[in-house]
Amino acid sequence: MTKYTPHVPSDSSESDSITASLQRLSKKIQLISDAVKALHQDRSQLEIKIEDAQKRIQHILSRLPEQSDGRQLNLLGESVTPTNPENDNEPTTH
């Protein structure tokens, strides 16, 4: 059975390099943590915008006439020529 013996740095240069590595890792962890917080805030803002858009859409839809309403709704704003069933003349081509 082998006995575990922890590695103890023998000189200060090895200890300094470990300390520097730990500091670099600490900075990277802090940057990642900040990025995650920023993404969370962005996501929260986008969720609020989506909810607002859904409310606006629902408001617009609630103003539309019912399907049983016989009136024609022109959502595009284009001029619509009414069809005249009294005029049975077929169009002529020249």
Contact predicate 73/65, CB 8 Å: yes
Q: What predicted TM-score, i.e. pTM, was given to this entire model?
A: 0.49
pLDDT band at 60 (very low <50, low <70, confident <90, very high): very high
* 3-class DSSP assignment, residue 21: helix
pLDDT of the residue at 37: 98
Residues recorded for the chain: 94
Q: How many CA atoms lie within 13 A of 69 on its CB side?
A: 8
Decide if pLDDT at 72 tops 70: no
Contact predicate 44/52, CB 8 Å: no
**Residues 29-52, mean pLDDT to the nearest whole number:** 98
Decide if pLDDT at 25 tops 90: yes
pLDDT of the residue at 17: 92
| pLDDT, greater one: 14 or 65 | 14
Q: How many CA atoms lie within 13 A of 24 on its CB side?
A: 6
